[in-house]
Amino acid sequence: MFSLLLGLDFQLFVMRDKVVVITGGSTGIGKALAEEFGRHGSNVLITGRTKENLVLAVEELRKKGITISLFVGDVGVEEDNRAMTAEAIRLYNRIDVLINNAGISMRAAFEDVDLPVIHTVMNTNFYGAVNATRYCLPEIKKTKGSIVGISSIAGIRGLPGRAGYSSSKFALTGFLEVLRTELLPFNINVLTVYPGFTASEIRKRALNENGIAQGESPRDEKKMMTAEECAKHIYQATVKRKRSLVLTAQGKIIILLNKWWPALADKIVYGYMAKEKD
């Protein structure tokens, strides 16, 4: 019983007064992460390209007693990341955790998609994380903190109709593995998160073959893990300084099949994704 209570105390207080930067923090998993870290006492800075969404998120979370600020910027633009880091230091004097969450998706067969769509997805999902990490890293080295990357099951197992998205998440996975190894002497933890399908806005904003947001999800969002549940798991993994986190039973099964029975995984994944509308 004592050890259980001690563990609960650790969970409650270890992130108190830590400074957490979350890219893409105005909606979905990013917003849920801001609330989860914030309710454990962290000081949060969320970023995004749309000021109105950021303001709404900050107003809502401040009403819940969370210490949170915003920065309007595009992770795909290098200079915006330099300014984001400077703003975090101006507000809070340090950075303990960077969560590379900003991401967009796409949905189209590779032979149909305009190639600039893939470039756009890669610029946010991969280069966005590279940019943010590059400028936050010197501060995280000072605090011996954590770098978290929100990859995807699609970053382990390629998904049909998601060539740009899967490619960007595979690249992110590799980038985080390099960081984890290079930063061993500095006691910095690097956590790669592999969510399965999670209820969020990402599918509504996914780009079609022409680079236009499709506007509605092709899947039943009600059957997915919620962003809030996802955020709780990510918070706990960050506190425990884990190296990886695979979410949803479905995701774990797909990874297992892909490792041991790849040909079967090809057929199962194709059949599953082919059931999507249109």
Q: Which residue has the tokens 């210490």?
A: 67
Rounded-to-integer distance, Cα 64 and Cα 228, Å:
15
Cα separations in angstroms, 273 against 127, 194, 206: 27, 18, 15
Residue 259 lies in a domain: no
Q: What are phi and psi of 140, to 5 degrees?
A: -70, -30
- From the list 188, 140, 111, the residue with the least C-alpha distance to 18 is 140
Contact 96, 20 (CB under 8 A): yes
Domain holding 59, by residue range, is: 2-249
Is 165 designated active site? yes
- From the list 16, 38, 40, 12, the residue with the least C-alpha distance to 25 is 38
Contact 245, 193 (CB under 8 A): yes
**Predicted local distance difference test score (pLDDT) of residue 178:** 98
Separation of CA 96 from chain center: 17
Q: What is the DSSP letter of 246?
A: E
Rounded-to-integer distance, Cα 268 and Cα 18, Å:
43
Rounded-to-integer distance, Cα 152 and Cα 168, Å:
10
**Predicted local distance difference test score (pLDDT) of residue 205:** 73
Residue 270 lies in a domain: no
Residue 263 lies in a domain: no
Contact 198, 158 (CB under 8 A): no
10-residue stretch averages of pLDDT, the chain, 278 residues long = 49 85 96 97 97 97 97 97 98 98 93 96 98 98 98 93 95 98 98 82 74 64 81 97 92 91 90 76
**Predicted local distance difference test score (pLDDT) of residue 275:** 76
Residue 274 lies in a domain: no
Residue 27 lies in a domain: yes
Rounded-to-integer distance, Cα 260 and Cα 171, Å:
22
Total number of domains in the chain: 1
Rounded-to-integer distance, Cα 19 and Cα 195, Å:
24
Cα separations in angstroms, 244 against 68, 115, 153, 211: 27, 31, 12, 32
CATH number reported for the structural domain that contains residue 94 in this entry: 3.40.50.720
Residue 223 lies in a domain: yes
Which one of the listed residues 165, 194, 235, 270 is annotated catalytic?
165
Residue 50 lies in a domain: yes
SS (H, E, C) 120-183: HHHHHHHHHHHHHHHHHHHHHHHHCCEEEEECCHHHCCCCCCEHHHHHHHHHHHHHHHHHHHHC
Rounded-to-integer distance, Cα 257 and Cα 105, Å:
24
The pTM score is 0.90
Residue 37 lies in a domain: yes
Cα separations in angstroms, 125 against 36, 146, 216: 22, 19, 21
